[in-house]
Amino acid sequence: MTATTTTTDRTGAGARIEVRDLTKRFGSFTAVDQLSFSVEPGRITGFLGPNGAGKTTTLRMLLGLIRPTGGSATIEGQRYQDIASPMRMVGSALEATNFHPGRTGRDHLRVLAAATGIGDARVDEMLELVGIPAAARKRAGGYSMGMRQRLGLAAALLGDPKVLILDEPANGLDPEGIRWLRGFLRHLSRQGKTILVSSHMLQEVEQTVDDVVIINNGRLVKQGRMSELHGDAKTIVRTTDLDALAGALRVADVTSETQDDALVAATDDLRLIGDVALRAGLPVYELRAATTDLEALFFQLTEGTNRNLGDESAAPERDAITGQEGANG
């Protein structure tokens, strides 16, 4: 396959996800609209958007659960349902509630393991890895949200897949669990695996992801490095005479603009600004590096146009079988 030649030195550990012009209409409602993006191996990619943006519908199309109205979604160049042994290529955890309450967590994994020809030893190993070896022998009906997330993660990892697709994996985890998850995903991505993590909160994944794909109303808003989102470095400085300081900075080749009662300079060199102010004889009341307000940025990227202020699955969440009005053909 062509994709393998484009991967890095960790060829074989990960696989490329490619989404092209993906579209899904449920009746007259367009949940996903000509969406294109790609996800690279060895990196953690955040799949972001407000509730109802079409994230879950996109992931379900990628996993062969929902039929696209148009376009394609492939992994290593293949549709999910065409992959010979899908759980060995792609591990996924879509919802934390997908368990039969009368079956133990361990048996849930054993059912999936049987379908892929994986033995019980691997099942127990995964339960150990996510930290629920004893609890998994109880019926899933009594599991906490955190337990369900961990069990879902264990299920996703059963086949030692090249690609990991996790839908809102941090939901229901306590701060300790979130920290654990972050370290765990880092560890997996260092092995070269492709990791796609959806979230409706940019801050939640800020410290976890390398790349972001942001969508809204089913359309791509932004794809790029997480670091790019922070934009160019800026420094905030307050003094008595903003215009005088701006002039002095211009002489030092630093552009700046006035914002409220402060000056925002296009540099991350705090020392330079301090020196310029000193030479100009201006007192400095505040001098700090500006941090990007990611929440505001995220809102700005996705604001105003949110078509349905309801929940994520408002449109596709109909009955599993009867909700097929949008199926093509």
Q: Which residues bind another protein (CB under 8 A)?
A: 56-57, 60, 63-67, 80-81, 83, 86-87, 92, 94-95, 97-104, 107-108, 110-112, 114-117, 155, 313, 316-324, 326-327
Nearer to another protein, 112 or 294 (CB): 112
Nearer to another protein, 95 or 232 (CB): 95
User: 38: which strand partners?
Assistant: 18
Q: Kindly state the smallest distance separating residue 81's Cβ from another protein, in Å.
A: 4
> Do 276 and 239 form a contact (C-beta atoms < 8 A)?
no
Q: Give the Cα separation of 235 and 250 in Å (integer).
A: 14
Nearer to another protein, 113 or 246 (CB): 113
Q: Kindly state the smallest distance separating residue 82's Cβ from another protein, in Å.
A: 9
The first and second tokens of residue 97, run together, are 């509630």
Q: Kindly state the smallest distance separating residue 145's Cβ from another protein, in Å.
A: 15
What amino acid is encoded at 292 in this protein? T
Q: Give the Cα separation of 97 and 89 in Å (integer).
A: 23
Measured from the Cβ of residue 115, the count of other Cβ atoms closer than 10 Å reads: 11
Nearer to another protein, 253 or 319 (CB): 319
Torsion angle defined by CA atoms of residues 34, 23, 296 and 169, in that order, rounded to the nearest 10 degrees: -140
Nearer to another protein, 84 or 260 (CB): 84
Nearer to another protein, 25 or 43 (CB): 25
Q: Kindly state the smallest distance separating residue 26's Cβ from another protein, in Å.
A: 8
Q: Kindly state the smallest distance separating residue 193's Cβ from another protein, in Å.
A: 17
DSSP string, 9-74: TTTTT---EEEEEEEEEETTEEEEEEEEEEE-TTSEEEEE--TTSSHHHHHHHHTTSS--SEEEEE
Question: What's the burial of 2, exposed, middle or buried (CB within 10 Å: 0-12/13-18/19+)?
Answer: exposed
Q: Kindly state the smallest distance separating residue 123's Cβ from another protein, in Å.
A: 12
Q: Give the Cα separation of 41 and 14 in Å (integer).
A: 5
Q: Kindly state the smallest distance separating residue 33's Cβ from another protein, in Å.
A: 17
Nearer to another protein, 80 or 298 (CB): 80
What's the sign of the alpha-carbon dihedral 219, 225, 226, 232?
negative
Nearer to another protein, 9 or 319 (CB): 319
Tell which phi-psi region holds residue 8, choosing left (phi > 0), alpha (psi between -120 and 50) or beta.
beta
Q: Kindly state the smallest distance separating residue 228's Cβ from another protein, in Å.
A: 33
Tell which phi-psi region holds residue 322, choosing left (phi > 0), alpha (psi between -120 and 50) or beta.
alpha
